[in-house]
Structure formats: structure tokens, C-alpha cells
Amino acid sequence: MGSPLTVRPARAEDAGQMALVNVRSWQETYRGIVPDAVLDDPGFVPARQRFWTAALTDERYRANRVAVAERDGELIGIAMSGPPLDAGAAWGRQLYVLYVCAAEHGTGAGRALLEAVVDPGESAALWVADPNPRAQAFYRKHGFMADGAVQVDGGIREIRMVRAVS
């Protein structure tokens, strides 16, 4: 971990590497929660690449902020926030994606990515897998608190965490 971490806005040409980080993070985090058939599906990486290509080029995602973290020219983390889907939301931003490869946990990459896509003083909300104590502790450290809302998305139980404006 001696080489410096760089966090920058994502570019369309990053979509392939972003898909790999996305899938790798899911495999590292959700193995045993999500069926292996989903995590190991040969179509998973191409599907994520199509998603990230759209997220970086399609007009409907223009209000989103997308960032990548890299070390030695290799992407090791990804993040995306955007306007909340709920028009009546009490927060100004929704964190949709924050994944850092397990080998980079604890290096500051997650914090740097979060701050790149959600301003530290900005009210925000996110959904996080439950149980996922490491991620939940990370978000609490950054001012997010569970608000009691629960959903099941793709077979994964999630809790909503919200950060009010400081």
C-alpha cells in the first residue's frame, strides 16, 4: 500500500475496469448471501460494464457524481451518488454505489470515494446490506444513522441509513 491513492471523476473508458471492481466487490462481500450462480455468472461482468457505460454516457445520469479510486493505475474502488429517487426525500443526495476491493479496506479509499461523490456537509441517504457490519460501521463513522426503513432488493435485506445536514 506504499503507492499513492488517486481518486478522480470516472470517465467512459473506465467502464470495463469499473465492472470488474463492481463484480469482485460483490463476490468478496456477498458470497453466502447471494447465490453463487449469480456471483459467478459469466454474464455478470458484461452486464455491469453495460450499466457503467450507460451511467457515464447517458443523459439521464447527468446529475450523478461518479468517481473511481486507483492505485498504480489499477482501479480499486468505485462510487456513485445522485439525486434521490423519492421526490419527497428529506435528503439532497443518495449514495447508490460505494465499493472498494477487500485488499484496500482500511486504506482511506472508501472515505475518499464517499467524499468525492457526497459533500461532507450534504444531507444524504443510502441502502446497505444487513448484515454487513463493516459497511454499516463505516457509514456510522461518516455520520449516517439507520432510520428504521428496511427493504429486500435482489434477495438481499437492506437497511436505509441517513445523514442529516451538519
- The answer to whether residue 107 sits within a structural domain is yes
Residue 165 lies in a domain: no
In a domain, 163, yes or no: no
Which spans in 31-151 are helix H? 36-39, 44-57, 109-117, 133-141
Residue 154: pLDDT band (50, 70, 90) is confident
Q: Which residues of 100-122 are buried (b: 16+ CB within 10 A; e: fewer)?
A: bbeebeebebbebbbebbbeeee
Asked whether residue 64 is domain-assigned, the answer is yes
Residue 146 lies in a domain: no
What's residue 2's pLDDT? Answer: 65
- What residues have CB less than 8 Å from 46, skipping those under 6 apart? 19
CATH for 41 = 3.40.630.30
pLDDT at 65: 98
26 lies in some domain: yes
Q: pTM of the full predicted structure?
A: 0.94
- Structural domain boundaries, residue 101: 5-120
Q: Report the number of distinct structural domains present in the chain.
A: 1
At position 98, the amino acid (one-letter code) is L
